[in-house]
Amino acid sequence: MSQTPLVEMIGIEKHFGGVRAVDHVSLDLYPGEVVGVLGHNGAGKSCLMRILAGAMIPNAGEIRVNGKAVAFADPNDARAAGIETIYQTLALADHLDAPSNLFLGRELKTWFGNLDDARMLEESRKVLARLNPNFKNLSDPVSSLSGGQRQVIAIARAIYFDTKVLIMDEPTAALGPSETAMVADLIRQLQAEGIGILLVSHDMHDVFDLCNRVVVMNKGRLVGAHGIEEVSKDDVLSLIVKGELPADWSARNLEAAQ
Protein backbone atom coordinates (compact mmCIF):
# COMPACT_ATOMS: atom_id res chain seq x y z
CA MET A 1 0.00 0.00 0.00
CA SER A 2 1.67 3.15 -1.19
CA GLN A 3 -1.05 5.57 -0.07
CA THR A 4 -0.69 7.73 3.01
CA PRO A 5 -2.23 6.01 5.97
CA LEU A 6 -5.40 7.61 7.33
CA VAL A 7 -3.97 7.35 10.79
CA GLU A 8 -0.54 6.59 12.16
CA MET A 9 0.07 6.08 15.85
CA ILE A 10 3.78 6.12 16.56
CA GLY A 11 5.41 5.04 19.81
CA ILE A 12 2.34 5.72 21.93
CA GLU A 13 2.83 5.35 25.67
CA LYS A 14 0.42 5.69 28.56
CA HIS A 15 1.28 5.09 32.21
CA PHE A 16 -0.91 5.01 35.27
CA GLY A 17 1.48 5.36 38.17
CA GLY A 18 3.92 2.52 37.62
CA VAL A 19 1.62 0.58 35.30
CA ARG A 20 2.38 0.80 31.61
CA ALA A 21 -1.08 0.51 30.12
CA VAL A 22 0.22 1.21 26.61
CA ASP A 23 3.91 0.53 26.09
CA HIS A 24 5.44 2.05 22.97
CA VAL A 25 2.75 0.95 20.52
CA SER A 26 2.70 1.89 16.85
CA LEU A 27 -0.25 1.25 14.59
CA ASP A 28 -1.41 2.49 11.22
CA LEU A 29 -4.66 2.31 9.33
CA TYR A 30 -5.28 2.76 5.60
CA PRO A 31 -8.45 3.84 3.79
CA GLY A 32 -10.93 1.01 3.31
CA GLU A 33 -9.15 -1.22 5.75
CA VAL A 34 -10.63 -3.08 8.71
CA VAL A 35 -8.07 -3.81 11.39
CA GLY A 36 -8.99 -6.08 14.27
CA VAL A 37 -7.56 -5.01 17.62
CA LEU A 38 -7.38 -7.98 19.96
CA GLY A 39 -6.15 -8.81 23.42
CA HIS A 40 -7.22 -9.76 26.93
CA ASN A 41 -9.22 -7.38 29.05
CA GLY A 42 -6.62 -4.98 30.39
CA ALA A 43 -4.17 -5.65 27.57
CA GLY A 44 -4.30 -1.96 26.69
CA LYS A 45 -6.46 -2.01 23.59
CA SER A 46 -9.25 0.11 25.02
CA CYS A 47 -6.66 2.54 26.32
CA LEU A 48 -5.07 2.81 22.89
CA MET A 49 -8.45 3.38 21.27
CA ARG A 50 -9.36 6.07 23.82
CA ILE A 51 -6.11 7.85 23.02
CA LEU A 52 -6.97 7.87 19.33
CA ALA A 53 -10.50 9.06 20.16
CA GLY A 54 -9.09 12.01 22.11
CA ALA A 55 -10.65 10.78 25.35
CA MET A 56 -7.24 10.11 26.91
CA ILE A 57 -3.98 11.98 26.48
CA PRO A 58 -0.86 9.83 25.93
CA ASN A 59 2.34 10.39 27.93
CA ALA A 60 4.47 10.01 24.81
CA GLY A 61 4.19 9.27 21.13
CA GLU A 62 2.75 10.89 18.06
CA ILE A 63 -0.52 10.63 16.18
CA ARG A 64 -0.65 11.57 12.49
CA VAL A 65 -3.81 11.99 10.48
CA ASN A 66 -3.26 11.95 6.71
CA GLY A 67 0.45 12.36 7.38
CA LYS A 68 0.05 15.43 9.57
CA ALA A 69 0.91 15.35 13.26
CA VAL A 70 -2.05 16.15 15.51
CA ALA A 71 -2.59 16.53 19.23
CA PHE A 72 -6.05 15.72 20.58
CA ALA A 73 -6.90 17.64 23.74
CA ASP A 74 -10.44 16.24 23.93
CA PRO A 75 -12.88 14.11 21.91
CA ASN A 76 -13.98 17.16 19.92
CA ASP A 77 -10.52 17.45 18.35
CA ALA A 78 -10.53 13.81 17.26
CA ARG A 79 -14.05 14.12 15.86
CA ALA A 80 -13.06 17.27 13.98
CA ALA A 81 -10.30 15.17 12.37
CA GLY A 82 -12.94 12.64 11.23
CA ILE A 83 -12.27 10.03 13.91
CA GLU A 84 -15.52 8.69 15.35
CA THR A 85 -15.88 6.15 18.13
CA ILE A 86 -18.58 3.71 19.11
CA TYR A 87 -17.91 2.91 22.74
CA GLN A 88 -18.77 -0.39 24.30
CA THR A 89 -20.82 1.51 26.89
CA LEU A 90 -22.45 3.36 23.93
CA ALA A 91 -21.94 6.69 25.73
CA LEU A 92 -25.59 7.75 25.54
CA ALA A 93 -27.31 10.26 27.81
CA ASP A 94 -30.23 8.15 29.07
CA HIS A 95 -32.68 10.97 29.73
CA LEU A 96 -32.38 12.47 26.25
CA ASP A 97 -34.13 11.22 23.12
CA ALA A 98 -32.46 9.72 20.06
CA PRO A 99 -31.97 12.96 18.06
CA SER A 100 -30.52 14.76 21.10
CA ASN A 101 -28.05 11.93 21.57
CA LEU A 102 -27.21 11.70 17.90
CA PHE A 103 -26.33 15.37 17.73
CA LEU A 104 -24.99 15.72 21.28
CA GLY A 105 -22.07 18.14 21.24
CA ARG A 106 -22.78 18.98 17.58
CA GLU A 107 -26.33 20.29 17.79
CA LEU A 108 -27.89 21.82 14.70
CA LYS A 109 -28.98 25.39 15.28
CA THR A 110 -31.20 27.96 13.66
CA TRP A 111 -29.87 31.32 12.51
CA PHE A 112 -30.71 32.66 15.96
CA GLY A 113 -28.62 30.03 17.69
CA ASN A 114 -31.63 28.12 18.98
CA LEU A 115 -31.58 24.34 18.83
CA ASP A 116 -33.11 23.21 15.56
CA ASP A 117 -34.93 20.21 17.00
CA ALA A 118 -37.17 19.80 13.96
CA ARG A 119 -34.20 19.39 11.63
CA MET A 120 -32.33 17.17 14.07
CA LEU A 121 -35.40 14.93 14.28
CA GLU A 122 -35.67 14.79 10.49
CA GLU A 123 -31.98 14.00 9.99
CA SER A 124 -32.09 11.39 12.75
CA ARG A 125 -35.09 9.75 11.15
CA LYS A 126 -33.14 9.43 7.89
CA VAL A 127 -29.93 8.04 9.31
CA LEU A 128 -31.70 5.69 11.72
CA ALA A 129 -33.95 4.40 8.94
CA ARG A 130 -30.85 3.48 6.98
CA LEU A 131 -29.71 1.27 9.86
CA ASN A 132 -33.09 0.00 10.99
CA PRO A 133 -36.26 0.72 9.00
CA ASN A 134 -38.38 -0.07 12.05
CA PHE A 135 -36.86 2.56 14.29
CA LYS A 136 -39.79 4.71 15.41
CA ASN A 137 -39.39 5.80 19.02
CA LEU A 138 -37.51 8.97 18.23
CA SER A 139 -38.98 11.13 20.96
CA ASP A 140 -38.63 8.66 23.83
CA PRO A 141 -35.73 8.93 26.24
CA VAL A 142 -33.14 6.39 25.12
CA SER A 143 -33.30 4.68 28.53
CA SER A 144 -36.65 3.24 27.45
CA LEU A 145 -35.22 1.67 24.27
CA SER A 146 -33.94 -1.85 23.73
CA GLY A 147 -30.22 -2.68 23.69
CA GLY A 148 -30.32 -3.06 19.91
CA GLN A 149 -31.98 0.32 19.38
CA ARG A 150 -29.47 1.99 21.66
CA GLN A 151 -26.66 0.39 19.69
CA VAL A 152 -28.21 1.69 16.47
CA ILE A 153 -28.21 5.24 17.86
CA ALA A 154 -24.55 4.95 18.84
CA ILE A 155 -23.67 3.67 15.36
CA ALA A 156 -25.78 6.33 13.64
CA ARG A 157 -23.99 9.02 15.60
CA ALA A 158 -20.63 7.71 14.44
CA ILE A 159 -21.47 7.49 10.75
CA TYR A 160 -23.70 10.53 10.29
CA PHE A 161 -20.89 13.04 10.31
CA ASP A 162 -18.00 13.17 7.86
CA THR A 163 -16.31 10.05 9.17
CA LYS A 164 -12.90 8.91 7.95
CA VAL A 165 -11.86 6.61 10.75
CA LEU A 166 -14.27 4.55 12.82
CA ILE A 167 -13.30 2.96 16.10
CA MET A 168 -15.73 0.23 17.12
CA ASP A 169 -15.31 -1.11 20.64
CA GLU A 170 -17.12 -4.44 20.88
CA PRO A 171 -19.95 -3.28 18.61
CA THR A 172 -21.74 -6.63 18.65
CA ALA A 173 -21.26 -7.72 22.26
CA ALA A 174 -24.81 -6.71 23.26
CA LEU A 175 -26.53 -7.77 20.05
CA GLY A 176 -28.49 -10.76 18.85
CA PRO A 177 -27.50 -12.72 15.71
CA SER A 178 -29.61 -10.72 13.24
CA GLU A 179 -28.38 -7.41 14.56
CA THR A 180 -24.81 -8.67 14.50
CA ALA A 181 -25.30 -9.48 10.82
CA MET A 182 -26.57 -5.95 10.27
CA VAL A 183 -23.44 -4.50 11.87
CA ALA A 184 -21.25 -6.77 9.74
CA ASP A 185 -23.01 -5.56 6.58
CA LEU A 186 -22.55 -2.01 7.71
CA ILE A 187 -18.84 -2.51 8.28
CA ARG A 188 -18.42 -3.89 4.75
CA GLN A 189 -20.41 -0.99 3.35
CA LEU A 190 -18.33 1.62 5.19
CA GLN A 191 -15.18 -0.17 4.13
CA ALA A 192 -16.28 0.10 0.50
CA GLU A 193 -16.74 3.83 1.03
CA GLY A 194 -13.06 4.07 1.98
CA ILE A 195 -13.51 4.49 5.72
CA GLY A 196 -10.82 2.93 7.89
CA ILE A 197 -12.17 0.85 10.74
CA LEU A 198 -10.54 -0.30 13.95
CA LEU A 199 -12.58 -3.18 15.30
CA VAL A 200 -11.98 -4.07 18.92
CA SER A 201 -13.52 -7.48 19.43
CA HIS A 202 -13.35 -10.71 21.34
CA ASP A 203 -15.34 -12.52 18.70
CA MET A 204 -12.84 -14.47 16.63
CA HIS A 205 -15.49 -15.29 14.05
CA ASP A 206 -16.26 -11.60 13.42
CA VAL A 207 -12.59 -10.75 13.27
CA PHE A 208 -11.76 -13.38 10.68
CA ASP A 209 -14.92 -12.59 8.76
CA LEU A 210 -14.40 -8.84 8.52
CA CYS A 211 -10.80 -7.81 9.09
CA ASN A 212 -7.97 -7.34 6.62
CA ARG A 213 -5.38 -7.33 9.38
CA VAL A 214 -5.19 -8.12 13.05
CA VAL A 215 -3.05 -6.49 15.71
CA VAL A 216 -2.73 -8.15 19.09
CA MET A 217 -1.88 -6.49 22.37
CA ASN A 218 -0.59 -8.19 25.47
CA LYS A 219 0.29 -6.42 28.73
CA GLY A 220 0.36 -3.02 27.04
CA ARG A 221 2.66 -4.05 24.21
CA LEU A 222 1.89 -4.78 20.58
CA VAL A 223 2.86 -8.43 20.17
CA GLY A 224 1.71 -9.06 16.64
CA ALA A 225 0.46 -7.36 13.49
CA HIS A 226 -0.48 -9.70 10.68
CA GLY A 227 -2.48 -9.88 7.51
CA ILE A 228 -5.54 -12.02 8.18
CA GLU A 229 -4.38 -14.65 5.64
CA GLU A 230 -1.06 -15.14 7.44
CA VAL A 231 -2.57 -16.42 10.66
CA SER A 232 -5.05 -18.97 11.92
CA LYS A 233 -7.44 -18.54 14.81
CA ASP A 234 -5.10 -20.64 16.95
CA ASP A 235 -2.18 -18.39 16.07
CA VAL A 236 -4.14 -15.33 17.14
CA LEU A 237 -5.25 -17.05 20.35
CA SER A 238 -1.65 -17.86 21.12
CA LEU A 239 -0.71 -14.21 20.60
CA ILE A 240 -3.52 -13.09 22.89
CA VAL A 241 -2.80 -15.58 25.65
CA LYS A 242 0.99 -16.03 25.54
CA GLY A 243 1.98 -12.88 23.72
CA GLU A 244 3.77 -14.91 20.98
CA LEU A 245 3.02 -17.01 17.93
CA PRO A 246 3.19 -20.80 18.15
CA ALA A 247 6.69 -22.18 17.57
CA ASP A 248 5.73 -23.84 14.29
CA TRP A 249 4.15 -20.69 12.79
CA SER A 250 6.96 -19.60 10.46
CA ALA A 251 7.41 -23.14 9.16
CA ARG A 252 3.70 -23.43 8.43
CA ASN A 253 3.60 -20.05 6.79
CA LEU A 254 6.57 -20.92 4.60
CA GLU A 255 4.77 -24.08 3.53
CA ALA A 256 1.68 -22.12 2.66
CA ALA A 257 3.68 -19.68 0.59
CA GLN A 258 5.23 -22.46 -1.48
Q: Which residues bind other proteins (CB under 8 A)?
A: 53, 55, 74-76, 79, 85, 87, 89-96, 100-101, 104-107, 109, 113-115, 132-141, 144, 146, 148-149, 152, 157, 176, 178-179, 181-182
Q: For residue 166, which of 14, 37, 22 has the smallest C-alpha distance?
A: 37
Question: 49 or 222: whose CB is closer to other proteins?
Answer: 49
Q: Closest CB to other proteins among 45 and 79? A: 79
Residues 6+ apart with CB under 8 A from 231: 214, 224, 239, 245, 249
Q: Where would I find the H helices in the chain?
A: 45-52, 75-80, 98-102, 117-131, 147-160, 177-192, 204-210, 233-242, 249-257
C-beta closer to other proteins: residue 145 or 217 = 145
Phi, psi (degrees; rounded to nearest 5) at 86: -110, 110
Nearer to other proteins, 137 or 212 (CB): 137
Nearest approach, Cβ of 118 to other proteins (angstroms)? 12
Distance, in Å, from the CA atom of 240 to the CA atom of 91, rounded to the nearest integer, reads 27
Q: Rank residues 67 and 113 by Cβ distance to other proteins and give the closer one.
A: 113
- The contacts of residue 119 (CB under 8 Å, 6+ apart) are 108
Q: Is 198 helix (H, G, I), strand (E, B) or coil?
A: strand
Residue type at position 180: T
